């Protein structure tokens, strides 16, 4: 199989702290480790700093939560803490939530000291709003999604002594004697090793597992798959955020603040169908006004019928010719809303301009919407220092689990990247100072060579077909509406996709190893979601089981698991 190595495994680099990824969490972690005096290598798939969800702009604004009272004077870290815990429905770690609430202000100040500008209103005050699941307005607005955060961190990184390896994908973590000592990486088609005393996994989420998603193509769940194979404990994988987005001409998030305008949703035949799916439990007006409380789907209130109805109407009902449903503001009274809420007017203008750029006029046209996969709230279980259960392995950012629960406040993910990125960087540097250098043994590398040799020769056509099948099945069985039969079907079919990646089809136009690995990572991420969702026989927050539609106190604790549990038949 192309991509494995001949003879001895080449060592591409050696460092104290290796950071995998170059998004918001990775760069904050790298800066923090470098600030502690550690030698740091950042390695990343794609272009340095421009390849992840933090940089990618599929939303006009990003929300960054800071309980500094600048937007609502009544807000405090204590109120923020309580909001996170209420949203989490028992699934977040209170210690990590306390840290997040207490260190948010410092995270914002660090970025501002680095030159970052949060959006301001015409009167000079911070622009802000009450984001999903929040009781107070505390989301500071970052214009152009989170690009200003990335520009700031990239500028700071350029002034530090961080080494960068771009267009270099981590393939697996090197685990020897139970500890993580680096990563196997794929560069220019060859697998090599980067050795480190500690490793910070900050490879982002995995939502391109779904056909309808808001993520850049680089975000394929590699981090979850690598951590899983390394034996790390995973948690809360069933809590995946998904919600309504613009489906055409280009995907874009449809923020919760827009639902205040009470848009109308219709199917391909012009019928208003939401109330039909609620079966008398709520009126259309009640459903839509609740949706203003949060962008992601949640079973906590009657807004759930928006996504359930949209997803079902597209699958079994009367979709638009492009396979979506319509949404419009044609009957909305904007002047009245702007008079009542001048702050909304400024944020609305950012959205309106963005949708104009994408080719739709929100005042005058029906737009097409559908359900899209968003961030994953679970992942590698971390402690207060960002440490995973594997010695030497840390995690930060979307990939890390613990600070979020069944529902997550909008504006908390970007913040978590900064708060726990900083902590993971400092702790990984301290760990690196404390341990001696490990010498990688031949048999360690041989295990990885055997694994990679297991891939067959897969043609471009076969790879495309498997990806399509996996994404279609994930949309159908894991996104929004789940049930036992669908989850079992995902697991069964994923066994076959993984098997086909091993057998291949021996065609001439074989795809490079990196593409096979990205596909495998997506499938493994989907398997973790399915396994966790199958076990959680209830509905809670973002996790909805059609066959168990209400919350059950028997499932009131987070569900964690590792590859070892699965091998022992725990799954």
Ligand X SMILES: Cc1cc2nc3c(=O)[nH]c(=O)nc-3n(C[C@H](O)[C@H](O)[C@H](O)COP(=O)(O)OP(=O)(O)OC[C@H]3O[C@@H](n4cnc5c(N)ncnc54)[C@H](O)[C@@H]3O)c2cc1C
Omega of the bond leading into 76 within 30 degrees of 0 (cis): no
Site stretch for ligand X (CB under 6 A), options 173-181, 201-209, 348-356, 381-389? 201-209
Q: Which of 134, 218, 236, 260 binds ligand X (CB under 6 A)?
A: 218
Q: How far is it, in rounded angstroms, from Cα 32 to Cα 297? A: 35
Q: How far is it, in rounded angstroms, from Cα 161 to Cα 175? A: 27
169 binds ligand X (CB under 6 A): yes
Q: Which element (helix H / strand E) includes 514?
A: helix 513-535
Nearest CA-CA partner of 214 in 295, 293, 149, 134: 295
The nearer residue to ligand X, 30 or 282, going by C-beta atoms, is 30
32 binds ligand X (CB under 6 A): no
**DSSP designation for 214:** -
Count of residues near ligand X by CB under 6 A = 42
Q: What is the per-residue binding string for ligand X in 337-356, x denoting contact by CB under 6 A?
A: --------------------
80 binds ligand X (CB under 6 A): no
Beta-bridge partner residues of 379: 235
426 Cβ contact partners less than 8 Å away, ≥ 6 residues apart: 32, 33, 35, 36, 385
182 binds ligand X (CB under 6 A): no
22 binds ligand X (CB under 6 A): yes
524 binds ligand X (CB under 6 A): no
Q: How far is it, in rounded angstroms, from Cα 474 to Cα 522? A: 10
Could you tell me if 31 and 157 are in contact, meaning their C-beta atoms sit under 8 angstroms apart? yes
Q: Which of 100, 413, 523, 532 binds ligand X (CB under 6 A)?
A: 413
398 binds ligand X (CB under 6 A): yes
Q: How far is it, in rounded angstroms, from Cα 515 to Cα 512? A: 6
CB of residue 131 to ligand X, shortest distance in Å: 7
CB of residue 275 to ligand X, shortest distance in Å: 29
296 binds ligand X (CB under 6 A): no
202 binds ligand X (CB under 6 A): yes
Nearest CA-CA partner of 490 in 472, 477, 502: 477
Q: How many CA atoms lie within 13 A of 165 on its CB side?
A: 22
225 binds ligand X (CB under 6 A): no
410 binds ligand X (CB under 6 A): yes
Q: Quick one: CA dihedral 90, 297, 273, 487, positive or negative? A: negative
51 binds ligand X (CB under 6 A): yes
The nearer residue to ligand X, 44 or 539, going by C-beta atoms, is 44
Q: Which of 12, 16, 17, 24 binds ligand X (CB under 6 A)?
A: 24
Q: How far is it, in rounded angstroms, from Cα 362 to Cα 267? A: 18
411 binds ligand X (CB under 6 A): yes
The nearer residue to ligand X, 65 or 311, going by C-beta atoms, is 65
246 binds ligand X (CB under 6 A): no
Q: Which of 32, 33, 52, 530 binds ligand X (CB under 6 A)?
A: 52
Q: How far is it, in rounded angstroms, from Cα 411 to Cα 300? A: 19
369 binds ligand X (CB under 6 A): no
44 binds ligand X (CB under 6 A): yes
**DSSP designation for 136:** S
Nearest CA-CA partner of 408 in 383, 378, 382: 378
Residue 14 burial by CB count (10 A; 0-12/13-18/19+): exposed, middle or buried?
Answer: middle
Site stretch for ligand X (CB under 6 A), options 84-92, 118-126, 156-164, 396-404? 396-404
26 binds ligand X (CB under 6 A): yes
The nearer residue to ligand X, 219 or 419, going by C-beta atoms, is 219
189 phi-psi bin (left φ>0, alpha ψ -120 to 50, beta other)? left
The nearer residue to ligand X, 143 or 489, going by C-beta atoms, is 143
Q: Which of 67, 182, 204, 403 binds ligand X (CB under 6 A)?
A: 204
Q: How far is it, in rounded angstroms, from Cα 470 to Cα 466? A: 6
274 binds ligand X (CB under 6 A): no
Nearest CA-CA partner of 65 in 54, 76, 51: 76
CB of residue 119 to ligand X, shortest distance in Å: 12
Site stretch for ligand X (CB under 6 A), options 331-339, 393-401, 468-476, 478-486? 393-401
Length of the chain: 571
43 binds ligand X (CB under 6 A): yes
Positions touching ligand X (CB under 6 A) are 20-26, 43-46, 51-54, 58-59, 62-63, 146, 169-170, 202-205, 214-215, 218-219, 222, 253, 375, 397-399, 410-414, 417
């Amino acid at each position: 199989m192309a991509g494995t190595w001949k003879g001895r495994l080449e060592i591409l680099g050696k460092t104290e702290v290796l950071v995998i990824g170059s998004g918001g969490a990775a760069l904050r972690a790298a800066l923090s480790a470098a600030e502690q005096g550690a030698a740091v290598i950042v390695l990343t798939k794609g272009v340095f700093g421009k390849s992840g969800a933090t940089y990618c702009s599929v939303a006009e604004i990003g929300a960054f939560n800071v309980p500094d009272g600048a937007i609502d004077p009544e807000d405090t870290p204590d109120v923020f803490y309580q909001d996170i815990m209420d949203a989490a429905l028992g699934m977040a770690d209170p210690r990590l939530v306390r840290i997040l609430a207490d260190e948010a202000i410092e995270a914002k100040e660090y970025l501002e000291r680095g030159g970052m500008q949060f959006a301001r209103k015409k009167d000079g005050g911070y622009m802000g709003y009450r984001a999903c699941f929040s009781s107070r307005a505390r989301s500071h607005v970052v214009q152009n999604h989170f690009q200003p955060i990335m520009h700031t961190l990239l500028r700071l990184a350029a002034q530090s002594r961080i080494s960068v390896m771009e267009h270099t994908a981590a393939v697996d973590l090197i685990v020897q004697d139970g500890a993580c000592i680096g990563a196997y990486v794929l560069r220019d088609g060859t697998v090599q090793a980067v050795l480190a005393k500690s490793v910070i996994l900050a490879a982002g989420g995995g939502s391109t597992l779904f056909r309808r998603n808001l993520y850049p193509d680089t975000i394929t769940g590699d981090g979850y798959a690598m951590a899983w194979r390394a034996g790390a404990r995973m948690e809360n994988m069933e809590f995946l955020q998904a919600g309504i987005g613009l489906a055409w001409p280009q995907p874009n998030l449809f923020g919760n603040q827009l639902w205040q305008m009470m848009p109308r949703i219709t199917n391909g035949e012009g019928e208003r169908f939401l109330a039909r799916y609620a079966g008398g439990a709520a009126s259309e007006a009640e459903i839509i006004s609740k949706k203003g409380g949060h962008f992601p789907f949640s079973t906590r209130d009657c807004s759930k019928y928006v996504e359930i109805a949209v997803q079902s109407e597209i699958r079994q009902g009367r979709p638009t010719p492009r396979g979506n449903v319509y949404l419009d503001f044609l009957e909305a009274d904007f002047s009245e809303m702007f008079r009542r809420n001048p702050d909304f007017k400024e944020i609305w203008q950012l959205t309106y301009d963005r949708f104009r750029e994408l080719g739709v006029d929100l005042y005058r046209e029906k737009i097409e919407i559908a359900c899209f996969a968003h961030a994953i709230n679970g992942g590698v279980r971390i402690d207060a220092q960002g440490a995973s259960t594997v010695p030497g392995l840390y995690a930060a950012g979307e990939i890390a689990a613990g600070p979020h629960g069944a529902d997550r406040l909008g504006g908390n993910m970007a913040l978590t990247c900064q708060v726990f990125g900083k902590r993971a960087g400092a702790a990984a540097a301290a760990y690196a100072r404390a341990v001696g250098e490990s010498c990688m043994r031949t048999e360690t590398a041989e295990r990885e060579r055997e694994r990679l040799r297991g891939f067959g020769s897969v043609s471009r056509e076969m790879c495309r077909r498997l990806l399509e099948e996996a994404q279609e099945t994930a949309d159908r069985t894991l996104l929004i509406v789940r049930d036992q039969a669908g989850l079992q079907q995902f697991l069964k079919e994923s066994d076959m996709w993984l098997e086909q990646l091993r057998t291949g089809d021996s065609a001439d136009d074989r795809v490079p190893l990196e593409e096979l690995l990205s596909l495998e990572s997506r499938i493994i991420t989907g398997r973790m979601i399915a396994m966790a969702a199958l076990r959680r026989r209830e509905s809670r927050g973002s996790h909805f089981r059609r066959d168990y539609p209400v919350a059950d106190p028997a499932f009131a604790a987070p569900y964690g698991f590792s590859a070892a549990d699965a091998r022992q038949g725990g799954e």
